[in-house]
Amino acid sequence: MATKAPPLKPELKPLLSVRDLKAYFPLDEGLVKAVDGVSFDVLPGQVLGIVGESGCGKSVAMKAVLQIIDPPGRIVHGEVWLAGRNGDGAGIDIAALKPNSNEMRKIRGAEIALIPQEPMASFSPVHTVGSQIIEAIRLHQPVDKSAARRMAVELFQAVGIPMPEQRIDSYSWQLSGGLRQRAIIAMGLSCNPRLLIADEPTTAVDVTTQAQILNLLRRLQKQRGMSIIFITHDLGVIAQMASYVVVMYLGRVMEQATVNDIFLAPKHPYTQALLRSIPNVKSTPHVKLPIISGSIPHPFNRPEGCPFHPRCEKVMPGICDRQIPGLLPVGENHFASCLLYADTVQKPDGNGQESRSQKRKP
């Protein structure tokens, strides 16, 4: 039942390993399982893309990694292993740390930094952007104010903000959308994190600005060699940014594979349908698009079994609505959580008795 940890490239030790992470929101109306058993690895220097529609739990999963889920939400199960700084040591399970502990506060910002989705809401409007970045630097590094200011100016330069000495003293509302996004990236980089989580960093900006920000992130990643978890709902952005992709739906990982496998040889019916249904600039115009029927279920009435089965065109009645599939290997470094690929599918009425009943390849 529980998602098995997929072994990824054993020769490279992952920087961050998330194992069967579950984060639930107990509300008066019911229990919202925002993240329900998510596992993935981030390798050093890798850009991992997490793609999913709204409500799929991608943002909550990242907040869980940083332990900043808004109450009443909390992590109910799972492990988040962060490798030790120099590749030695066993690393630490940050999901086991207390959210307000000193250890956790040392990790946030310094080891794992977050670029939030809405830069306007992330900066305080009554402090200059510079003072907020200087605060972050001084919180994690033993430097004095003037040195921190110099570092902040350098960061502004690195993210391509013109006239950094002047801009550092401006307020967030004086900056344009693109500059604000660059400033928030500078803040994320301020303590040289090993992992940068970018949560939809370009959804609030226009397409030409988006191209600038994506180029900037690519350049910074190459220069600094850090890992990036890139969250988005835009499959185009994922294709251009990520090297490894995790596809999420209703709090679960549906498929994970290299970017080429996801786009050129998707295995999970959800990924396949999603890729077919989006028009792209190269598709034939005016032709009816293949659709995914129905809509995303409300979080209070999640379907039994595989969360995608009510909308799936390859649904196996009596099987998909009973069993929750775990991540199964379907190729090299390619995992799909779909019962189509299960060698042994439990018969609906068999109590623990396994039979080789279903093995289909699409």
Partner 1 sequence: MAMQSQTNSVMLEIQNLQKFFPIQKGFLRRTVGNVRAVDDVSFVIREGETLGLVGESGCGKTTTARCILRAMQPTGGRILFHTAEGRVVDMAPLSRRELRPLRPQMQMIFQDPFGSLNPRMTLFDIVGEPLLVNGLTNRKQRTERVAEMLRLVGLRPEYMQRFPHAFSGGQRQRIGIARALALHPRLVVADEPVSALDVSVQAQVLNLLLELQDQLHLTYLFVAHNLSVVKHICDHVAVMYVGKLVETAKTEEIFNRPKHPYTAALMAAVPVSDPRVPIGDVELKGEVPSPANPPSGCYFHPRCPCAVDRCRVEMPCLREIAPEHFVSCHRAEEVSLAGICMD
Q: Which residues contact partner 1 (rule: CB under 8 A)?
A: 53-54, 176-179, 206-212, 214-215, 218, 233-240, 259-260, 263-264, 273-275, 277-283, 285-286, 288-293, 295-296, 311
> To the nearest whole angstrom, how small is the minimum distance from the Cβ of residue 10 to partner 1?
25
Judged by beta carbon, residue 60 or residue 112, the one nearer partner 1 is: 60
**Which H, E and C letters describe 41-61, residue by residue?**
EECCCCEEEEECCCCCCHHHH
Give the CA-trace dihedral at 223, 228, 234, 238, to 10 degrees.
70
> Which single residue is written with the structure tokens 């991992």?
48
DSSP state of 352: S
> Which single residue is written with the structure tokens 């090993």?
194
> To the nearest whole angstrom, how small is the minimum distance from the Cβ of residue 179 to partner 1?
8
Judged by beta carbon, residue 271 or residue 346, the one nearer partner 1 is: 271
Judged by beta carbon, residue 220 or residue 342, the one nearer partner 1 is: 220
Judged by beta carbon, residue 190 or residue 272, the one nearer partner 1 is: 272
> To the nearest whole angstrom, how small is the minimum distance from the Cβ of residue 112 to partner 1?
26
> To the nearest whole angstrom, how small is the minimum distance from the Cβ of residue 107 to partner 1?
31
Judged by beta carbon, residue 205 or residue 342, the one nearer partner 1 is: 205
Is residue 83 classed exposed, middle or buried when 0-12, 13-18 and 19+ CB atoms within 10 A define those classes?
A: buried
Judged by beta carbon, residue 96 or residue 264, the one nearer partner 1 is: 264
> To the nearest whole angstrom, how small is the minimum distance from the Cβ of residue 239 to partner 1?
5
> To the nearest whole angstrom, how small is the minimum distance from the Cβ of residue 111 to partner 1?
29
Q: What residues contact 190, with CB distance under 8 A and at least 6 apart?
A: 109, 113, 133, 136, 137, 151, 152, 155
DSSP state of 171: B
DSSP 205-265: S-HHHHHHHHHHHHHHHHHH--EEEEEES-HHHHHHH-SEEEEEETTEEEEEEEHHHHHHS
Judged by beta carbon, residue 97 or residue 237, the one nearer partner 1 is: 237
> To the nearest whole angstrom, how small is the minimum distance from the Cβ of residue 221 to partner 1?
13
Q: What residues contact 180, with CB distance under 8 A and at least 6 apart?
A: 119, 120, 123, 172
180, 148 Cβ separation under 8 angstroms:
no
